[in-house]
């Protein structure tokens, strides 16, 4: 049984608290930030705008270009490590083994650990003189520089540690959303288990997996605690540079960096939405 | 998740798999966490010792004695509770509208509600930070509460609209037919049926608020110290205090893990991943 | 004025009319069924009676008061839903008391009404249980009891038995009807199942494509439907064109049979299987092409001339084999359809 729908005004009123608050606190600052990056708009961003001066600074100054490179580097490497671990892990979780239920709960622990705590834990482990180096010392090896090193190994390790359960969860879900019947059909038509996986399950799970990758990437662009604590002092990723600009009250710079980061996020958000819209269609019962 | 294995396994195989996985688990997750625990009790732990040479409760006693730490803890709890309560109340009508009524700009609203979760907290915070500076909300507790709401509202709205959408329309019509005004129908039918989601969502929101760093740091520090902010100061720059950092880390982790287990009982995997992964 | 009076009730949307202007009078104590296929408008009709859909036009009076503008909670109407719509978080007792609490009925009166409903619906052993602990049939009885305790001016049923299996449906049908009579209320019942409609109703309102096709008692509608639609929807029929005059009609295969109308000229006849008796006859007008043995009766498919029709006979002897020639003997005057009532054909 369905009744008449309430009128637009009631709906607007219902939406008002949540959407309104978000619009005020999130939407407006964001928009004003975009304007501010061009030297327009209200408050501290106002210059003799419109101008691309801040953007010129960002893309002209080697520090910030290096920052962009570093941000992308950290993001890409973290995602790579994530995938290398998460996909096999997701596959393993699909099989039955002793203590699977318990494991299913335990591997998600990093989800509950806040970024700074991860940074701290990694520090104690990977620093020169940290736990790992002491263990290696026992067998006569010495630990290469892992924290505040030019390759950002500590940073990537910490990001991956935090992200892998999340990735795994998504990938397991994406695999599971593929109807078993399709795989049975593939097997019935002569495909071996491996080929059925490669040709049927994996491609159909790809939209979900891709979405997970994109989201992970975005989160890493905004991560500034982990690079700040574990990363080298040069080059710094855009996130840390942005924080420094904020502390210096260099607003146009803040907005410029912020807009660059945000643009990347929104582009990725759009692709995510297109991909998830497609997931619901093919996987039948996968959607709500 | 009782899926039939695609490939039949003998018990032998799965035993090796289990051993391998659990070993990895202990190494990758257990060891770092053990580090933190050890450091919190360590009384002098220098290389090349693999475990602390002596143990003490001194650092834990610091919680009570270190006023800054005690204050930060209480402040975090206060903020997290307020944020949780506010999120629930504010999200409810929005989630209701989104769950039950088709309207023209729904997709756009959905994306907008999702956006704060996608845009990195840092970016959101500097934007809000500037706004708050002019509103004199920066470096205040209400400011931190408001900025955290930006992150928790989308979560609550999504969780609630998922659960509110499952309430059959017949139940509400039956309530109306039995004499309940629309408001009373909400209170007598919708609210009781939403309690599991509200509780689970509330727990997740509390967790998220309690451990939130990026935005609280930008808007609040150095005047408003939440627990995560304090931890940051223990790790920043010279004179890193591992022992204090360890204690604070454990304080941050303990409620989170408890809630994690509780929420895990109430919600399904994928919903919780959305919550924890802030999808 | 009738207990329930509906005048010109209509509902239209931007691109379609769900219900064309409709009139209906229902007396107190009547059991009326709205019968028709999906999309015929019966649910829209019900929703407007309930108050959850606003009419595009027309008026509704119940017990003397005009109700079409009232919200559902102000109307004294109770409804039994197809999905039962029992509140899962309340016990059976809680469900029964819900409406009484909403309308602030005094405690003593609440208890009296609940006890009464529990008794006549046989819910005694179940009052403390939760809905999920009950079977489908039990849940439906709770839904009914919940409606009865409200002592409504009008009781609405929205296909309440369609979720149940056939045997249970038959049992509950009788229970519902018994309860209706004991309560003495006025009921409007919506269904697409013609057996339900015919066995339960005082009157049936046949609907199709947003219009009322015709209204009448089950007997009248079955034996003497005015429109082709009704003839086809209720029971089996063969529609045959014939030439009428002076109470007789010449059928296409040449036979003359009595009809129930004084019309003359071309007419449309609705021939029910039980109207014709097949008898073995080498000169007969029809040939048996097949039959369905239904236990109590045999339904013969007979080809007479170009017309395929169904004729039934009690199964007292062995069925007439296919291929046999039969004569068709009319048992009663055949019914002439009156399609001038604007019915859909």
Whether residue A258 lies inside any domain: the answer is yes
* Mean pLDDT on A183-192: 85
Whether residue A25 lies inside any domain: the answer is no
Whether residue B2 lies inside any domain: the answer is no
* Mean pLDDT on A147-162: 89
Instruction: Provide the whole-model pTM.
Output: 0.75
Residues B100 and B238 in one domain: yes
Judge whether residue C222 has pLDDT over 90: yes
> Which of A3, A6, A112, A176 best probes binding to B when mutated, by most B CB atoms within 10 angstroms?
A112
Whether residue B5 lies inside any domain: the answer is no
As a three-state string, the secondary structure of chain A is CCCCCCCHHHHHHHHHHHHHHHHHHHHHHHHHHHHHHCCCCCHHHCCCCCCCHHHHHHHHCHHHHHHHHHHHHHHHHHHHHHHHHHHHHHHHHCCCCCCHHHHHHHCCHHHHCCHHHHHHHHHHHHCCCCHHHHHHHHCCCCCCCCCCCCCCHHHHHHHHHHHHHHHHHHHHHHHHCCCHHHHHHHHHCCCCHHHHHHHHHHHHHHHHHHHHHHHHHHHHHHCCHHHHHHCCCCCCCHHHHHHHHHHCCCHHHHHHHHHHHHHHHHHHHHHHHHHHHHHHCCCHHHCC
Whether residue A24 lies inside any domain: the answer is no
Q: Which CATH architecture has domain C236-336?
A: Beta Barrel (2.40)
B176/C52 CB distance under 8 A:
yes
Residue bearing tokens 């003799």: A48
Judge whether residue C43 has pLDDT over 80: yes
Closest residue of chain B to C150, computed from CA coordinates: B178
pLDDT in tens, B64-115: 677 788 888 889 999 999 999 999 999 998 998 888 888 778 888 888 888 8
Judge whether residue A178 has pLDDT over 70: yes
The pLDDT score that the predictor gives to residue C186 is 93
From chain C, the residues in CB contact with A6 under 8 A are none
**Neighbouring C-beta atoms of residue B12, cutoff 10 Å:** 8
How many Cβ pairs closer than 8 A exist between chain B and C?
60
Closest residue of chain C to B174, computed from CA coordinates: C85
Token digits of residue C261 = 């109308």
Q: List the beta bridge partners of residue C334.
A: C259
pLDDT in tens, C225-244: 999 999 999 888 999 999 98
| pLDDT-derived band at A2, boundaries 50, 70, 90 | low
Least confident of A157-161, A183-187, B186-190: A183-187
What total of structural domains would you count in chain A? Answer: 1
Judge whether residue B233 has pLDDT over 90: no
The pLDDT score that the predictor gives to residue A155 is 92
Residues B251 and B128 in one domain: yes
Length of chain C: 345
From chain A, the residues in CB contact with B102 under 8 A are 5
Cα separation, C35 vs A3, in Å, equals 21
Whether residue A214 lies inside any domain: the answer is yes
Cβ-in-10-Å burial (0-12, 13-18, 19+) of B101 comes to: middle
Whether residue B256 lies inside any domain: the answer is yes
How many Cβ pairs closer than 8 A exist between chain A and B?
282
The pLDDT score that the predictor gives to residue C318 is 82
B149/A239 CB distance under 8 A:
no
Residue of C222 and B123 predicted with greater confidence = C222
The average confidence (pLDDT) of chain B is: 82
Q: Which of residues 232-261 of B touch A (CB under 8 A)?
A: 232, 235-236, 240, 242, 245-246, 249, 252-253, 256-257, 260-261
Cα separation, C296 vs C256, in Å, equals 29
CB A75, CB A69: distance < 8 Å: no
Judge whether residue A162 has pLDDT over 80: yes
| pLDDT-derived band at B278, boundaries 50, 70, 90 | very low
C54/A4 CB distance under 8 A:
yes
The pLDDT score that the predictor gives to residue A65 is 80
Cα separation, C252 vs C250, in Å, equals 7
Residues 6+ apart with CB under 8 A from A175: A90, A91, A94, A201, A205
C85/B168 CB distance under 8 A:
yes
Residues B176 and B89 in one domain: yes
The pLDDT score that the predictor gives to residue B271 is 53
* Mean pLDDT on A241-259: 81
Judge whether residue C268 has pLDDT over 80: yes
CB B44, CB A127: distance < 8 Å: no
The pLDDT score that the predictor gives to residue A288 is 34
Whether residue A98 lies inside any domain: the answer is yes
Three-class SS state of C36: coil
Whether residue B4 lies inside any domain: the answer is no
The pLDDT score that the predictor gives to residue C9 is 93
Q: Rounded to a whole number, what is the distance in Å from the CA of B65 to chain A's nearest CA?
A: 22
What total of structural domains would you count in chain B? Answer: 2
Cα separation, C21 vs C33, in Å, equals 18
State ipTM: 0.78
Whether residue A36 lies inside any domain: the answer is no
The pLDDT score that the predictor gives to residue A41 is 56
Cα separation, A68 vs A272, in Å, equals 22
* Mean pLDDT on A126-133: 81
The average confidence (pLDDT) of chain C is: 89
Residues of C with CB under 8 A from a CB of B: 50-52, 71-73, 77-79, 81-85, 87-89, 98-99, 102-103, 146, 150
Judge whether residue A277 has pLDDT over 50: yes
Q: Which of residues 59-88 of B touch A (CB under 8 A)?
A: none
* Cβ–Cβ contact B180 with A under 8 A: no
Question: For residue A273, what are the domain limits?
Answer: 55-280
As a three-state string, the secondary structure of B203-241 is HHHHHHHHHCCHHHHHHHCCCCCCHHHHHHHHHCCCCCC
Residues B179 and B51 in one domain: no
Cα separation, B242 vs B43, in Å, equals 11
* Mean pLDDT on B251-275: 65
Listed ranges A237-241, B79-83, B113-117, C312-316; the one with the highest mean pLDDT: B79-83
Q: List the beta bridge partners of residue C35.
A: C191, C206
A11/B101 CB distance under 8 A:
yes
* Cβ–Cβ contact B129 with A under 8 A: yes
Residue of C79 and B14 predicted with greater confidence = C79
The pLDDT score that the predictor gives to residue C342 is 34
C53/A3 CB distance under 8 A:
yes
Whether residue A6 lies inside any domain: the answer is no
Closest residue of chain B to A167, computed from CA coordinates: B277
Residues B47 and B76 in one domain: no
Q: Are strands C286-293 and C276-280 parallel, antiparallel or unpaired?
A: unpaired
From chain C, the residues in CB contact with B177 under 8 A are 50, 72-73, 77-79, 99
Share of chain C above pLDDT 90, in %: 49
Judge whether residue A49 has pLDDT over 70: no
Of A26, A122, A223, nearest to B116 by CB-CB distance is: A26
Q: Rounded to a whole number, what is the distance in Å from the CA of B169 to chain C's nearest CA?
A: 9
The pLDDT score that the predictor gives to residue C7 is 93
Question: For residue B119, what are the domain limits?
Answer: 67-276
Sorted by where each begins, the domain ranges of chain C are 4-228, 236-336
The pLDDT score that the predictor gives to residue B277 is 45
Q: Rounded to a whole number, what is the distance in Å from the CA of B90 to chain A's nearest CA?
A: 5
Q: Rounded to a whole number, what is the distance in Å from the CA of A268 to chain C's nearest CA?
A: 39
Q: Which CATH architecture has domain C4-228?
A: 3-Layer(aba) Sandwich (3.40)
| pLDDT-derived band at C20, boundaries 50, 70, 90 | very high
A120/B113 CB distance under 8 A:
no
| pLDDT-derived band at C212, boundaries 50, 70, 90 | very high
| pLDDT-derived band at B138, boundaries 50, 70, 90 | confident
pLDDT in tens, B180-209: 888 899 899 999 998 888 888 888 888 889
Residue of B84 and A104 predicted with greater confidence = B84
Token digits of residue A54 = 């801040």
Residue A231: give its domain's CATH number: 1.10.3720.10
Q: Rounded to a whole number, what is the distance in Å from the CA of A271 to chain B's nearest CA?
A: 12
* Cβ–Cβ contact C158 with A under 8 A: yes
The pLDDT score that the predictor gives to residue A1 is 58
From chain C, the residues in CB contact with B174 under 8 A are 79, 81, 85, 87, 146
Judge whether residue A50 has pLDDT over 70: no
C82/A1 CB distance under 8 A:
yes
How many Cβ pairs closer than 8 A exist between chain A and C?
14
Cα separation, A25 vs C70, in Å, equals 41
């Amino acid at each position: 049984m369905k009744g008449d729908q309430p009128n637009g005004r009631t709906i607007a009123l219902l939406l008002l608290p949540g959407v309104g608050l978000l619009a005020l606190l999130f939407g407006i600052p964001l928009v004003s930030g975009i304007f501010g990056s061009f030297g327009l708009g209200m408050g501290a961003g106002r210059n003799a705008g419109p101008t691309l001066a801040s953007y010129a600074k960002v893309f002209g100054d080697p520090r910030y270009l290096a920052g962009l490179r570093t941000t992308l580097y950290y993001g890409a490497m973290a995602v790579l490590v994530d995938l290398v671990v998460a996909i096999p892990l997701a596959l393993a979780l699909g099989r039955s083994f002793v203590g699977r239920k318990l494991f299913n709960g335990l591997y998600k622990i990093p989800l509950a650990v806040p970024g700074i705590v991860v940074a701290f834990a990694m520090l104690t482990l990977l620093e020169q003189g940290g736990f790992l180096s002491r263990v290696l010392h026992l067998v006569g090896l010495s630990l290469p520089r892992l924290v505040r090193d030019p390759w950002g190994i500590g940073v990537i390790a910490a990001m991956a540690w935090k992200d892998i359960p999340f990735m795994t969860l998504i990938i397991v879900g994406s695999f599971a959303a593929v109807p078993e019947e399709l795989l049975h059909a593939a097997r019935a038509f002569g495909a071996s288990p491996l080929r059925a996986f490669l040709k049927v399950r994996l491609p159909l799970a790809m939209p979900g997996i891709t979405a997970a990758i994109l989201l992970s990437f975005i989160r890493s662009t905004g991560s500034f605690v982990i690079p700040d604590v574990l990363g080298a002092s040069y080059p710094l990723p855009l996130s840390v540079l942005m924080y420094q600009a904020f502390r210096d009250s260099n607003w146009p710079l803040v907005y410029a960096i912020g807009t660059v980061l945000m643009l990347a996020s929104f582009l990725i958000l759009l692709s995510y939405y297109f991909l998830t819209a497609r997931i619901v269609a093919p996987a039948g019962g996968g959607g709500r | 998740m009782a899926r039939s294995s695609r490939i039949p396994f003998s018990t032998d195989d799965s035993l090796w798999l289990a051993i391998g996985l659990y070993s990895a688990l202990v190494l990758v997750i257990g060891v770092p966490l053990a580090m933190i625990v050890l450091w919190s009790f360590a009384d002098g732990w220098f290389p090349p010792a693999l475990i602390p040479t002596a143990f003490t409760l001194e650092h834990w006693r610091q919680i009570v004695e270190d006023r800054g730490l005690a204050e930060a803890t209480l402040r975090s709890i206060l903020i997290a509770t307020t944020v949780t309560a506010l999120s629930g109340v504010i999200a409810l009508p929005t989630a209701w509208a989104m769950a039950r009524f088709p309207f023209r700009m729904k997709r756009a609203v959905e994306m907008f509600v999702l956006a704060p979760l996608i845009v990195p907290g840092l970016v959101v915070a500097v934007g809000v930070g500037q706004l708050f500076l002019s509103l004199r909300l920066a470096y205040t507790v209400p400011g931190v509460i408001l900025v955290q709401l930006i992150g928790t509202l989308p979560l609550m709205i999504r969780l609630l609209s998922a659960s509110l959408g499952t309430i059959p329309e017949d139940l509400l019509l039956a309530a109306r037919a039995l004499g309940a005004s629309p408001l009373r129908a909400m209170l007598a039918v919708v609210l009781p049926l939403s309690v599991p989601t509200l509780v689970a969502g509330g727990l997740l929101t509390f967790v998220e608020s309690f451990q939130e760093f990026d935005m609280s740091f930008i808007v609040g520090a150095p005047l408003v110290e939440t627990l995560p902010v304090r931890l940051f100061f223990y790790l920043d720059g010279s004179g890193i205090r591992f022992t204090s950092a360890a204690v604070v880390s454990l304080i941050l982790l303990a409620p989170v893990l408890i809630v994690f287990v509780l929420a895990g009982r109430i919600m399904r995997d994928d919903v919780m991943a959305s919550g924890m992964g802030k999808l | 004025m009738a207990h329930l009076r509906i005048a010109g009730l209509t509902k239209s949307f931007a691109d379609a009319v769900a219900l064309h202007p409709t009139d209906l009078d229902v007396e107190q104590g009547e059991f009326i069924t709205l019968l028709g296929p999906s999309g015929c408008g019966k649910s829209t009709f019900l929703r407007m009676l309930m108050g959850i859909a606003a009419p595009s036009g027309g008026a509704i009076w119940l017990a003397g008061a005009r109700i079409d503008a009232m919200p559902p909670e102000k109307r004294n109407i109770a409804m039994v839903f197809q999905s039962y719509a029992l509140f899962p978080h309340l016990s059976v007792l809680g469900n029964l008391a819900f409406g009484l609490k909403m309308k602030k009925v005094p405690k003593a009166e609440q208890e009296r009404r609940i006890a009464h409903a529990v008794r006549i619906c046989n819910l005694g052993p179940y009052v403390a249980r939760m809905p999920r602990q009950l079977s489908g049939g039990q849940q439906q009885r709770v839904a009914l009891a919940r409606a009865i305790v409200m002592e409504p001016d009008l009781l609405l049923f929205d296909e309440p038995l369609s979720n149940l299996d056939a045997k249970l449906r038959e049992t509950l049908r009788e229970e519902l009807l018994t309860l209706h009579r004991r309560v003495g209320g006025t009921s409007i019942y919506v269904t697409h199942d013609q057996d339900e409609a015919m066995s339960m109703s005082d009157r049936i309102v046949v609907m199709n494509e947003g219009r009322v096709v015709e209204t009448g008692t089950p007997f009248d509608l079955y034996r003497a439907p005015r429109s082709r639609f009704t003839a086809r929807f209720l029971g089996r029929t063969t529609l045959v064109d014939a030439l009428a005059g002076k109470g007789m009609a010449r059928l296409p295969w040449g036979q003359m049979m009595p009809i129930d109308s004084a019309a003359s000229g071309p007419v449309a006849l609705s021939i029910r299987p039980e109207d014709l008796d097949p008898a073995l006859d080498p000169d007969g007008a029809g040939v048996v092409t097949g039959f369905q043995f239904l236990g109590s009766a045999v339904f013969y498919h007979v080809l007479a001339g170009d017309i395929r029709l169904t004729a039934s006979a009690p199964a007292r002897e062995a069925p007439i084999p296919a291929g046999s020639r039969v004569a068709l003997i009319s048992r009663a005057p055949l019914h002439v359809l009156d399609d001038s009532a604007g019915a859909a054909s």
